[in-house]
Amino acid sequence: MSIVGAADALVAVNPVPWARAQMAFTLAAHIILVPLGVSWAFMTLIANYRGLKKNEPESLVLAQRWSKYMAVTFAVGAVSGTVLTFEFGLLWPRFMGQWGEAFGVPFAFEGIFFFLEAIFISIYIYGWRRLKPWTHFWTGVPVVVSGILGAASVVAANAWMNEPSGFTLDSAGQITSVDPWGVIFNKAMPLQALHMIVAAYVVGGFLIASVYAMGMLRGRRDRYHRIGFLIPFTVAIVFSPIQMLVGDALARWVYNNQPVKFAAIELVPNTSSDVPETLLGHLNSDGTVTGGIPIPGLASWLSDPSTGKSTVVQGLNTVPVENQPTIAEVNVVHLSWDIMVGLGTFLALLSAWYALSWLFRRDIPKTRWFLRIAAITGVLAVITMEAGWVVTEVGRQPWIVYNLMYVENAATGNTGVWVTFLGVAVLYIGVAVTLILVLRLMSRRYRDTDGGDDDVPYGPRPSPRLDESSVG
């Protein structure tokens, strides 16, 4: 036991920051796969539809290849999602012990949608040859629907942490009854879920389009690449202005319902009216704001246009200091907000450029600069989404369940979390690098062989015989 004792002493480190780091890291990784899981099926079906309707072989080839890439990313997403179900307990056992009966409810429904998605992805991928073309097309539709509903369910659980409802507590703070409907459809859920689902379409669209933009920049200007670019890019540019509206509504909801998070977003230490919208800049520990470019009165005006600049914005100081995010957290929230809004606006402007060009010329803008920018939109969109997620999570600090449970009271007491964090970090980075290499390898092989098809994890079956050459 002395060895174990010594090992225990060696790893005895405060678990709270490490648990936060590990959860943040694994969620940040998982969330990149989410847009692809939610929206790629939709774009695949557009390609599939075009292929069948217009008898366009390039579209069908795209749909077939996308369905396979989709399978790889879905598989990795499924696995990283499984890890999250472990982590809820491994990192936040006291949160789950106390709130599991409420927080857990949306996941019961998420499970159904996830399962449906998995089953129909399998059917869709394997059905290419043997099902009738339109029957096969329709087997893809449940993938789209369950992706959307599954995302809504998961976001419902997160929204519940921001706006806990649907339960009653006894005097000791223990849950005595649960109203599942009230949990799922908590007040934060509708807008938050919509924001995430639209984000999935924007990010997924830009991500996929940027790959084909890259290909076109390298001179592959054939019809295949053109359609591969146009479908996802069009989806992304249709959804990005919608996202501006949804985001604006959500921000106003936060202003009305989560004033402390809003104060962090807008860098408002003390309650006041005529609050400027400060671009960049940071909050100091003495409560002053320095740096950045203040736009006078804009934050007030945006919060409630009907009262304009005289709109009062609550400051951080309206709650005791122990219920405020720390100064560092406030600055992280504000910076992330600026990044999200800034990049989101940039992407929407790009959409306008594209839309105008399409309106007048029925073509994408001629300049190479358009493709150059389009080629980086995938990365930009992912950064935008990650920033938005940081705003909602860090902005809730120090709470894990808003106004009911502190993060530090929710974490595990296991002092070895820093070790598991390092293990998870190494493993995830390794898997991520390999995934990118493997996807590149697949696409190169497609280009070289015009359709090698033995490379999806589902084990496609070129013939009922065993393909012995496929295993080295």
CA distance 47 to 66: 9
Antiparallel, parallel or unpaired: β 405-406 and 399-401: antiparallel
Under rule CB under 8 A, residue 256 binds other proteins: no
Query: Which residue's CB is nearer to other proteins, number 138 or number 346?
Result: 138
29-to-68, 104, 136, 432 alpha-carbon distances in Å = 21, 22, 32, 9
In 3D, which of 278, 251, 263, 248 has the Cα closest to residue 314? Answer: 263
Exposure letters 22-60 (e unless 16+ CB within 10 A, then b): bbeebbbbbbbbbbbbbbbbbbbbbbbbbbbeeebebbb
Under rule CB under 8 A, residue 451 binds other proteins: yes
Q: 24, 27, 28, 83: which one contacts other proteins (CB under 8 A)?
A: 83
Residues 6+ apart with CB under 8 A from 7: none
Site for other proteins in 409-438 (CB under 8 A): 412-414, 416, 420, 423-424, 427-428, 431, 434-435, 438
Nearest distance from C-beta of residue 24 to other proteins, angstroms: 16
DSSP class of residue 273 equals S
Nearest-10 Cα torsion for 144, 145, 146, 150 = 100
Site for other proteins in 167-206 (CB under 8 A): 167, 175-180
Query: Which residue's CB is nearer to other proteins, number 301 or number 418?
Result: 418
Site for other proteins in 220-249 (CB under 8 A): 222-224
Under rule CB under 8 A, residue 312 binds other proteins: no
Burial of 387 (0-12, 13-18, 19+ CB in 10 A): buried
Q: 39, 44, 80, 210: which one contacts other proteins (CB under 8 A)?
A: 80
Under rule CB under 8 A, residue 461 binds other proteins: yes
Under rule CB under 8 A, residue 14 binds other proteins: no
Q: Which residue has the tokens 């405060």?
A: 14
Site for other proteins in 118-137 (CB under 8 A): 118-120, 122-123, 125-131
- My answer on whether omega of the bond before 106 falls inside 30° of 0, hence cis, is no
* Gyration radius of the chain's alpha carbons: 24
In 3D, which of 201, 212, 127, 129 has the Cα closest to residue 385? Answer: 201
Span of 87-95, 230-238, 316-324, 346-354 interacting with other proteins by CB under 8 A: 87-95
Under rule CB under 8 A, residue 453 binds other proteins: yes
Under rule CB under 8 A, residue 75 binds other proteins: yes
Under rule CB under 8 A, residue 145 binds other proteins: no
The pair phi, psi for residue 264, each rounded to 5°, is: -65, -40
Nearest distance from C-beta of residue 210 to other proteins, angstroms: 20
Site for other proteins in 41-70 (CB under 8 A): 51, 57-58, 60-61, 64-65, 67-68
Longest dimension (CA), the chain: 78
Under rule CB under 8 A, residue 363 binds other proteins: no
Report residue 10 as tokens: 């060696």
Query: Which residue's CB is nearer to other proteins, number 243 or number 412?
Result: 412
Under rule CB under 8 A, residue 358 binds other proteins: no
Under rule CB under 8 A, residue 406 binds other proteins: no
Under rule CB under 8 A, residue 467 binds other proteins: yes
Under rule CB under 8 A, residue 320 binds other proteins: no
Query: Which residue's CB is nearer to other proteins, number 320 or number 464?
Result: 464
# residues near other proteins by CB under 8 A: 107
